[in-house]
Amino acid sequence: SVDVLQNGNATSVVRRKLTGFVGFSNLPIQWHRKSIKKGFNFNVMVVGESGLGKSTLVSTLFNMPLYPPRSEKRPSAEVPKTVAIQSISADLEEGGVKLRLTVVDTPGFGDFVNNDDAWRPIVENIEQRFDAFLEAENKVNRANIVDNRIHAIIYFIAPTGHSLKPLDIEVMKKLHNKANLIPVIAKSDILTDEEIVAFKARIRADLDYHKISLFETPRYEVDSDETMEEKASIISKIPFAIVGATSEVTTPDGRVVRGRKYPWGVVEVDNDGHCDFLKLRAMLVKNYMEELKEYTNEFLYENYRSAKLTAMGVSQDQSVFKEINPAAKQEEERAIHQAKLLKMEAEMRMVFQQKVAEKEQRLKQSEDELFARHREMKESLDKQRRELEAKKAQIESGKAYLSTEEKSRKKGFSLRS
Ligand code: GTP
């Protein structure tokens, strides 16, 4: 059994050995079954001057002719004026595992007198693919999003034996933050072993100097010593010295191999002693295809996405961070609660002020009414007072008349007597 103890905010997990079968040991099998059913997809871009053997290498890597024969490939009338972007997809199957491979070619790259903007259509294409993915992610129905993002770029370096050309440096600088960059020395069979060693050293120095980062190591898992060793041996060969060949030839000792036959002997493709093809295949297909996809999704795309959303003024989505950080989640909940309280308080204050204003209005109204009634009463009292005074004056004058009459009557009486 497994006991989970709550200790304040921290959750401590006690490790116990299971005493009976539970079933989750089947998870890798479940995952395997699901993946087999769903199939995989992988999108690789090839960048390099024409004639460096890009099509040949892709066909060699996946062991099938992906491109139409060279004569049908590009009729001379259709020579592009700028770098074009062409994509070819193929459904491959090996041991019951399905893979949809998409190869994005960049014909015309480096072919012009002025190659200043050669990187632009390539970067635009990569960004368009990121944008399409971002749009699909933001839709209500996010199930079955097709991942058309570029998972790796094989950058072909011409086998000059000198150093990188300014165009190589400029383009790789523009690309290394957008896709996993894997540089290869094309047609390395034309260089001697010593030339290759020196050329590789100069290329690596140039890449370091210009801070161009390459896809080198899987960054998450803690590997066994064996895997670490294999990884180190792959990385030590970058940039891979490549030989491509789709046809089989017979070696002087009678073996049938994929390779290129020269009057002095055979250069074998699948031979670590002759070139780095197997190392490239290990990195791209056999060992690290999933890593390339994971790194594209979690770092390259994520950087692009957050930069784009920030530029659009959308605050960054911290949900992934919050999921793994309970303190951040708690802080966010507290902030939401606080905001709710403030909103309620503001609403209550508003209602209170409204009620007070209504009461004041009513009081003012009744005050006005009282004043009006008071004025009315005063006026009617004044009127009554005036009438009474008039009556009083009338009575007074009547009284005066009567007393004069009385007096004269009394006077007449005394005279008569
Ligand atoms: P574009 O489609 O024009 O861009 O050419 P690409 O880069 O796809 O080259 P492609 O694969 O068509 O090869 C051009 C020529 O180079 C062909 O004749 C190939 O046989 C030859 N080639 C391809 N790979 C190698 C190699 O590793 N070594 C040598 N010596 N020749 C090669």
CATH number at residue 176: 3.40.50.300
Work out which ligand 1 atom sits closest to the CA atom of 48. Answer: 7
Predicted confidence at residue 181, as pLDDT, reads 94
Question: Among 44, 52, 61, 267, which residue has the most ligand 1 atoms within 8 Å of its CB, making it the best to mutate?
Answer: 52
Please tell me whether residues 249 and 385 are part of one structural domain. Answer: no
389 in the same domain as 293: no
Answer whether 140's CB lies under 8 Å from 87's CB.
no
pLDDT of residue 111: 73
Same domain, 252 and 389: no
> Has residue 336 been placed in a domain?
no
For atom 10 of ligand 1, the residue with the nearest CA is 53
**Residue 45 confidence (pLDDT):** 94
* Cβ-contact 42, 49 below 8 angstroms: no
In a domain, 181, yes or no: yes
Q: Which helix (H) or strand (E) holds 182?
A: strand 181-185
**What residues line ligand 1, using a CB cutoff of 6 Å?**
50-56, 70, 107, 187, 189-190, 243-244, 260
Q: Determine the distance from the C-alpha atom of residue 105 to the mean position of all C-alpha atoms in its chain, rounded to a whole number.
A: 26
Q: Verify that 285 and 357 share a domain, yes or no.
A: no
Residue 230 belongs to a domain = yes
278 and 198 within one domain: yes
Angle at 159 between CA 154 and CA 164, to 5 degrees: 75
pLDDT score recorded for residue 3:
46
The secondary structure element, H or E, covering residue 206 is helix 193-209
Domain coverage including residue 356 = 341-417
**Same domain for 361 and 261:** no
Extended strands (E) in 96-169: 97-105, 152-157
How many domains in the chain? 2
Residue 17 domain flag:
no
**Is 96 domain-assigned?**
yes
> What residue ranges of the chain have pLDDT lower than 50?
1-8, 77, 220, 322
Say if 358 falls within a structural domain: yes
Give 231 Cα–ligand 1 centroid separation in angstroms: 29
Residues 142 and 251 placed together within one structural domain of the fold? yes
pTM of the predicted protein model? 0.70
Question: CA of 415: how far to CAs of 149, 401, 404, 407, 411, in Å?
Answer: 147, 21, 17, 13, 6
